[in-house]
Amino acid sequence: MHALIIDDDEGIRWILKRVLNEKGVEVSEAETVAAAMEALAGPKAIDMVFLDVYLPDGNGMQLLEDGVFDMPVILLTAETTFDHAVQAFRSGAMEYLPKPFDLDEVRMLVDRVQPSAPPEAPEASDRNQLLVGRSQAMQQLFRILGRVAASDLTVLITGESGTGKEMVARALHEQSQRASRPFVAINTAAIPAELLESELFGHEKGAFTGADKARPGRFEQADGGTLFLDEIGDMPLSLQAKLLRVLEEGKVQRVGSNQARSVNVRLLAATHQNLPTKIQQKEFREDLYYRLNVIPVHIPPLRERKDDIRELAQFLLDQSARELDMQVPILLDDAISLLEQHNWPGNVRELKNVMRRLAVLTPGSSITLSDVALALGHASSSEEEETLSEAVTRCTRNYLMQLGYAKASNLHQHVLEQIEPPLLKLALEQCHGNQLRVSEMLGLNRNTVRKLLRKYEIDAQDYRP
């Protein structure tokens, strides 16, 4: 077997050549597109290609799309998004390897290669950049999604709350041939059982009290597109049987109707529950489980892929700053280290909220360890030495976040009215309700103190022994 490595990085070429030689593969090298074209036109037949995306005189992805190669191609890329994986497969790559790559994976790829044309790849459409990650778990997820996106296969997405199950479902729809058709999502756990049947399958006028007109259900609304059933594990058993019938027959029957309507829907389902356990507890139908679990996709919790936190946090910070029309602050290394140490019980959803909070609250051009500690609700390491100015700054930041940085015309007075009452009460407490001593402490005349007490409806008598 003969492989061609096309990469301008000498180190990448060296390590790949070493591994390939170990597998008994002869290797040719090229640093540029021009050198690669010369090697492909040479007398030696090339059985597989390792291709970098960014080359000094061209783009490897473009070469794939132009049909330059008639042998299996493994794309080498520093990009780590789901869309990039889809684009690689769409362009004709047999596989893609994110840098830095696992050498065992290279060895397995050599074992897989046969001198035949690379497989068909799914079409890509709109981007969904939030699906990013360098971890092996996420890269494996991207590979699965990239291969099944264009199909009509049913996918069961599992993972903890906040991991992004609906985001994955939307990405599958957007990269499918149904992308121009509706994507309809419904959380089966959020709708009362007595209403869920009507929501899913629709109803006719007069079918039940309050049904004053006919209404199509979610299956009919998603006709030609994709229906996403979130938290499928919470669906009542009675409805599970009806759902199974729809999946088997491709027809829905509205509540109160004897007529069945044909629907063409790709079904995606998700749950945070363990369905095999629910089957054992007689809370989920085994036949429905096998109907849904055609392609199982598991999204790992964020605590199990902390290698992704730096890239994901930066992306979410950039996104939040753009949405808020603010300058993007720099995320310092010690701040990232604290983010990586956090357990993230709320997963990506929690990280997204924290980064949005940091985008709003960070006063300077960089996000520090202390900023992250406050955003996560941790005690600051220097809290015992915090000055009054620092404490006021911290609390005022939190208050401004609650206001949403609304551009009030009288913000100074508004903030002052939040600070004066507790200051007056503390002074009254220290002075045991003696207004003369309070005026001396605050450096205000007695009449001003009286006016402020009346304004904020504070009774000095309440502070006298």
Rounded Cα distance between 215 and 226, Å, is 19
Asked if the structure places residue 289 within a domain, the reply is: yes
d(CA 132, CA 377): 26
Amino acid at 307: D
In this prediction, residue 396 carries a pLDDT of: 66
276 and 396 part of one domain: no
pLDDT-derived band of residue 378, with 50, 70 and 90 as boundaries? low
Give domain status of residue 140, yes or no.
Answer: no
Distance CA 86, CA 128 (A): 11
- Structure confidence by residue, pLDDT tens digits, 28-66: 999 999 998 988 888 888 888 998 888 898 888 888 888
Q: Is residue 271 part of a domain?
A: yes
Helix residue spans in 230-331 (DSSP H): 237-249, 275-280, 286-292, 309-323
Compute the mean pLDDT over every residue in the chain, rounded to the nearest whole number.
82
Give per-residue pLDDT as tens, 324-354: 777 888 888 888 999 999 999 999 989 988 9
Query: Percentage of the chain surpassing pLDDT 70?
Result: 87
Global confidence as pTM:
0.57
Q: Where are the beta strands (DSSP E) in 381-449?
A: none
- Domain assignment present for residue 382? The answer is yes
∠ at Cα 437 (434, 443), nearest 5°? 135
Mean pLDDT of 225-253: 92
Task: Give the model confidence (pLDDT) of 407-417 as tens digits.
Answer: 445 667 777 88
Any idea what the CATH number is for the domain that residue 202 is in? 3.40.50.300
pLDDT of residue 384: 44
**pLDDT digit string (tens) for 205-237?**
887 777 778 888 899 999 999 999 999 999 999
Q: Check which CATH number belongs to the domain holding 81 and give it.
A: 3.40.50.2300
Residue 137 lies in a domain: no
Helix axes 82-91, 136-148, angle to 10 degrees: 50
Distance of CA 283 to the CA centre of its chain: 30
By residue range, what is the domain housing residue 360? 303-403
Q: Name the maximum alpha-carbon separation found in the chain.
A: 103
Q: What is the pLDDT of residue 84?
A: 67
- Clarify whether residues 41 and 107 are in a common domain: yes
Among 403, 437, 453, give the residue marking a domain's end.
403
Give pLDDT, residue 123. Answer: 39
CATH number of the domain bearing residue 310:
1.10.8.60
Tally of domains in the chain: 4
pLDDT score of 410: 64
pLDDT at residue 386, rounded to an integer: 55
Same domain membership, residue 443 and residue 364:
no
Please tell me whether residues 195 and 284 are part of one structural domain: yes
Indicate whether 113 and 232 sit together in one domain: no
Split at pLDDT 50, 70, 90, the class of 398 is: low
CB 449 within 8 A of CB 428: no
Are 311 and 296 within one domain? Answer: no
Does residue 136 fall inside a structural domain? no
The domain boundary, picked from 249, 283, 300, lies at 300
**pLDDT above 90: percentage of residues in the chain:** 28
Q: What is the pLDDT of residues 429-465, one digit of tens each?
A: 888 889 999 999 999 998 999 999 998 889 888 888 7
CA distance 122 to 107: 25
Name the domain boundary from 300, 334, 364: 300
Looking at residue 456, its pLDDT comes to 87
145, part of any domain: no
Give dist(CA 160, CA 439) in Å, integer: 57
Q: What local confidence, expressed as pLDDT, does residue 328 receive?
A: 83
At 274-325, the pLDDT tens digits run 999 999 999 999 999 999 999 999 999 999 988 889 988 988 888 888 887 7
293 and 313 together in one domain: no
Q: Indicate whether 333 and 361 sit together in one domain.
A: yes
- Judgement on whether residues 251 and 310 belong to the same structural domain of the protein: no
Contact call for residues 330 and 364 (beta carbons, < 8 A) = no
Average pLDDT over residues 83-107: 75
User: Is the pLDDT higher at 82 or at 187?
Assistant: 187
Those residues whose C-beta lies under 8 Å from the C-beta of residue 17, and which sit 6 or more positions away, are 5, 27, 29
Asked whether residue 190 falls in the same domain as residue 259, the answer is yes
Q: Quick check: is 139 in a domain?
A: no
Q: Would you place residue 189 in the very low, low, confident or very high pLDDT band (cuts 50, 70, 90)?
A: confident
Question: What token pair was written down for 197?
Answer: 């049947």
Same domain, residue pair 44 and 62: yes
- Higher local confidence (pLDDT), 80 or 195: 195
Q: What is the CATH number of the domain that holds 425?
A: 1.10.10.60
Would you state the pLDDT for residue 379?
A: 45
Q: Examine the domain organization and report whether 310 and 173 are in the same domain.
A: no
